[in-house]
Amino acid sequence: MPTKDTFLSAKASISQRLARLLPLHSAAWNVTQRAMSEMVNTSDPEQQAQLIKAWRDSTISQLSQVGIIGAIMTAAVVGSFTWDALSTIAIIPMTMIRIAWYNSLVLAVTAVTLGMQQSVFLIRVGSTSDSDAIITNMLSSPSPGGSGLRIPRWSQMFIWQAAVGLLEWSIYFWMGGYLVFIWDLTRVSREGQTVADQVVAGCCFGTFGILFFVYLLSISRLWYSVSVHDSRWVP
For the chain of 235 residues, list the mean pLDDT of each consecutive stretch of 10. 55 56 63 84 89 92 94 95 91 95 97 95 90 90 79 88 93 95 86 86 93 86 62 43
Q: How far apart are the C-alpha atoms of 58 and 10, rounded to whole Å?
A: 32
Instruction: Name the residue ranges covered by the structural domains of the chain.
Output: 27-185, 186-217
Q: How far apart are the C-alpha atoms of 5 and 3, rounded to whole Å?
A: 5
Angle at which helix 23-41 crosses helix 195-219, to 10 degrees, equals 30
Q: How far apart are the C-alpha atoms of 40 and 152, rounded to whole Å?
A: 8
Q: What is the dihedral angle through the alpha carbons of 214, 216, 217, 223, rounded to the nearest 10 degrees?
A: 140
Is this prediction's pTM over 0.75? yes
Tell me if 111 sits within 8 A of 66, measured CB to CB: yes
What confidence score (pLDDT) does residue 233 get?
A: 42
